[in-house]
Amino acid sequence: MLQGVDLEILEGELTVIVGPNGCGKSTLLLALARILRPSAGTVELDGRAVTSMPPREVARRLAFLPQAPLGPDGIRVRDLVARGRHPHQGFLRALSAEDHRVIDEVLLATDTLDLSTRRVSELSGGQRQRVWIAMALAQETSLLLLDEPTTFLDVAHQIDVLDTCARLHHEGRTVVAVLHDLNLAVRYATHLVLMKDGAVVAQGRPQEVLTTDLVEQVFGIRAHLVADPEGWPLVVPVRSDVLARRAGASPSAVHAKQATPTTPTEGSV
């Protein structure tokens, strides 16, 4: 549940929302996307209450990609991306020349053009996420909301998806993403939002807002904050006392397991 959230999504920024599990990150994104109606207060889009706007108009202004989206069985990449054109189509939903142009453009922008004839189910996790982003881009909105787009992906695919987000941001789109990995969030965000217990605790440029005290306040862990080899802030958690004791434990038990058994002497059992 959100509690008195006062947040402005800055135009032209790559905003990343972070915080512990259950702190309200996804709920906030669902409210921004007009999927959840706030019990108090308003969510405004370009100065208008988003709940007062027709769904088709909202879909022309913002695109929302939920966690782990599912497409129809056997659907091919181009057909899935084409679904992003629905807010711009008439009653018959026939694809126009303009629709095909946009589809080609977003496939190229997400580096998925060569995948267009393949089934979505055949793709790797990173490829699938880029295809879903392409579908969202096909809506031709200036605002893109992504709820945990790197969940269940390995490190290489996480970087792949976030590089795509960064490229879209550099091309002028406003991107908002919920992420779990604080260090990836710091590296990609131009505006960082930290949440805890349904409230926004801090927000701003990652280099300016992030401190060890804030990490402990939000995530409940002690950490060092250092610069990584590329100059980005890096959060290094302090190991717990239990782990520290394990690291300093006597290695004799390991040596005993690796020792060569002796040959039994005569008369031994």
CA distance linking residue 219 with residue 26, whole number of Å: 17
Instruction: Identify the structural domains of the chain with CATH numbers, from first to last.
Output: 14-258 (3.40.50.300)
Going by their DSSP bridges, the two strands 223-227 and 48-49 should be labelled as unpaired
pLDDT at 114: 95
Question: pTM (2 decimals)?
Answer: 0.83
pLDDT at 241: 59
Q: Which residues pair with 204 in a beta bridge?
A: 192
Q: What 3-state DSSP class applies to 87?
A: helix
Going by their DSSP bridges, the two strands 62-65 and 14-18 should be labelled as unpaired
Q: What DSSP string runs through 18-77? A: E-STTSSHHHHHHHHTTSS--SSS--EETTEEGGGS-HHHHHHHEEEE-SS----TT-BH
Q: Minimal CA–CA distance to 148: which of 177, 175, 128, 126?
A: 177
pLDDT at 185: 95
pLDDT at 119: 96
Cα-to-chain-centroid distance, residue 174:
14
Q: 246: part of which helix (H) or strand (E)? A: helix 241-247
Instruction: Quote the percentage of the chain above a pLDDT of 70.
Output: 88
Mean pLDDT over 58-77 rounds to 90
Q: Which residues pair with 41 in a beta bridge?
A: none
CA distance linking residue 78 with residue 85, whole number of Å: 11
pLDDT at 244: 62
Alpha-helical regions (H) of 76-151: 77-82, 97-109, 125-137
pLDDT at 261: 47
CA distance linking residue 177 with residue 185, whole number of Å: 9
Give the type of residue at 153.
Answer: L
Q: Minimal CA–CA distance to 203: which of 1, 7, 3, 4?
A: 7
Q: What 3-state DSSP class applies to 223?
A: strand
Burial of 83 per CB tally in 10 Å (0-12, 13-18, 19+) = middle
Q: What 3-state DSSP class applies to 155?
A: helix
CA distance linking residue 131 with residue 113, whole number of Å: 9
